């Protein structure tokens, strides 16, 4: 009996010892996910165009002055950087971590930013600082991206806690120079994919779901805000007709303190023209 208890104790101790590095890795060791997108609507000048998407930092830090994250992003050789909301966390503070990240990203490539649900209450006072840093903050509007003599549309909309999504899309659509061009949308919330598809978005980048926080192997995410248990949209690429949406699993944590089988993610999308 004593031998059995001793064995159980050592098994428990081993489990606990292994749990510490596992927990650290799941919360802090970055992973890069390549999600290529091809379409005949992508102009030839954007063939090979590299996009890095980040999302949901929630004031987290990756090394001194965000250097661990910055070096990882730089190694992907992006032509442009998209950040799809929740740079800060209203409950946590440490907002300087978010600003530091934006400063480091600006050294790598042009940055385009849209709001998340953690920005909406305080964003008016943060927006000015981001713009002064050179971050392109998109608020229900479009810009034109140029590369190798061709152009595409980029739309960014506010989180629906600020502006109702259908209205935001309609407002942004009116600012486009040409509605015939390939169009990319930046939005925080993946659960509204059907609206993005109905608005004829060719490619949408979102976050918010945190990968489901806990990912069950061969099943997917356990829970996501706005979608509940076993949500449809927590990671990777999804399609409705000719519209594609990419969901970033995010960098930081919000309400839940621990990720499981769900490391912080950098998404890299390389466009491929099939013209």
* Mean confidence (pLDDT) of the chain: 92
Q: How large is the average pLDDT for residues 155-179?
A: 93
- Quickly list DSSP for 45-91: GGTT-EEEEE---TT---SGGGHHHHHHHHTT--SEEEEES-SS-TT
Q: How large is the average pLDDT for residues 23-34?
A: 96
- Token pair recorded at residue 153: 């549309």
Position with higher pLDDT, 89 vs 249: 249
pLDDT at 126: 84
Task: Quote the percentage of the chain above a pLDDT of 90.
Answer: 79
Strands 236-240 and 243-247: antiparallel
Q: Quick check: 177 pLDDT over 90?
A: no
First to last CA, the chain: 73
Q: Quick check: 163 pLDDT over 60?
A: yes
Domains of the chain: 31-273 (3.60.21.10)
CB 265 within 8 Å of CB 211: yes
Q: Which contiguous run of DSSP H or E holds residue 179?
A: none
- Token pair recorded at residue 130: 């981001």
CB 102 within 8 Å of CB 135: yes
pLDDT at 90: 78
pTM given for the model = 0.94
**pLDDT tens sequence across 193-224:** 999 999 999 999 999 999 999 999 989 999 99
């Amino acid at each position: 009996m004593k031998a059995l208890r001793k064995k159980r104790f050592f098994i428990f101790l081993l489990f606990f010892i292994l749990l510490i590095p596992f927990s650290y890795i799941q919360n802090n060791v970055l992973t890069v996910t390549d999600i290529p997108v091809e379409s005949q609507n992508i102009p030839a000048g954007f063939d090979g165009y590299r996009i890095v998407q980040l999302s949901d930092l929630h004031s987290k830090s990756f090394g001194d002055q965000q250097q661990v994250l910055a070096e990882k992003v730089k190694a992907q050789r992006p032509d442009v950087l998209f950040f799809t909301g929740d740079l800060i966390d209203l409950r946590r503070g440490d907002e300087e971590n978010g600003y530091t990240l934006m400063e480091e990203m600006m050294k790598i490539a042009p940055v385009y930013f849209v709001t998340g649900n953690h920005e909406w209450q305080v964003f008016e006072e943060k927006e000015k600082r981001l713009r002064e840093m050179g971050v392109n903050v998109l608020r229900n509007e479009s810009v034109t991206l140029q590369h190798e003599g061709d152009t595409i549309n980029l739309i960014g909309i506010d989180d629906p806690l600020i502006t109702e999504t259908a209205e935001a899309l309609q407002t942004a659509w009116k600012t486009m120079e040409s509605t015939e061009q390939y169009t990319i949308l930046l939005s925080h919330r993946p659960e509204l994919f059907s609206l993005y598809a109905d608005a004829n978005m060719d490619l949408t980048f979102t976050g918010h779901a945190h990968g489901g926080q806990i990912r069950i192997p061969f099943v997917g995410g356990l829970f996501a805000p706005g979608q509940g248990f076993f949500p449809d949209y927590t990671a990777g690429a999804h399609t409705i007709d000719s519209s594609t949406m990419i969901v970033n699993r995010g960098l930081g944590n919000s309400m839940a303190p621990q990720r499981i089988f769900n490391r912080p993610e950098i998404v890299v999308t390389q466009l491929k023209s099939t013209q």
